[in-house]
Amino acid sequence: MKRPNIKCPYCGSRAILRPASALGKTSPCYQGKEFYVCARYPRCDSYVAAHERSRLPMGTLANAPLRRKRHDAHLAFDRLWKDGYMTIDEAYRWLQVQLGIPKTEAHIAMFSEYRCEQVIRLCSAFTAAQAA
């Protein structure tokens, strides 16, 4: 399979597929995981996880603040299905409708900081309304 030509959105350098250990991620949950990492890493601290099977990037490369935002957005979103309010498929459909975006774009790894904040707000409002 041809490797996609992926660029770092911060500095324009090429992104290189590297094992998690290259990022200092050595815990067992990162075993076999790969990341697209900016060629200028660690000077440019930007990367995104790769899908294990296809080895394609899960989204766009993210710097530390954006990675934190995406992590927080995922925690808020995952509560919708992990806490049993809906199935995971329903949760993704809900997200698409709330954000008015197609299925192909409804992946948190593709989201900007602004969109992550939207997700956190929407999911928190949803779970709060359920609990009330």
- Which residues bind to Zn ion, rule: CB under 5 A? 8, 10-11, 13, 38, 40, 44, 46
Handedness of CA 124, 129, 131, 132 (dihedral sign): positive
Do residues 21 and 70 lie in contact, with contact meaning Cβ atoms separated by under 8 Å?
Answer: no
Closest distance between Zn ion and the C-beta of residue 66, in Å? Answer: 12
Amino acid in position 103: K
Beta carbon nearer to Zn ion, 41 or 77: 41
Closest distance between Zn ion and the C-beta of residue 122, in Å? Answer: 30
Beta carbon nearer to Zn ion, 16 or 44: 44
Beta carbon nearer to Zn ion, 13 or 98: 13
What's phi and psi for 45, nearest 5 deg?
-90, 80
Task: Report the alpha-carbon distance of residue 80 to residue 41 in Å, rounded.
Answer: 35
Beta carbon nearer to Zn ion, 58 or 120: 58
Closest distance between Zn ion and the C-beta of residue 103, in Å? Answer: 29
Strand extents, DSSP E, the chain:
15-19, 34-38, 47-49
Closest distance between Zn ion and the C-beta of residue 48, in Å? Answer: 12
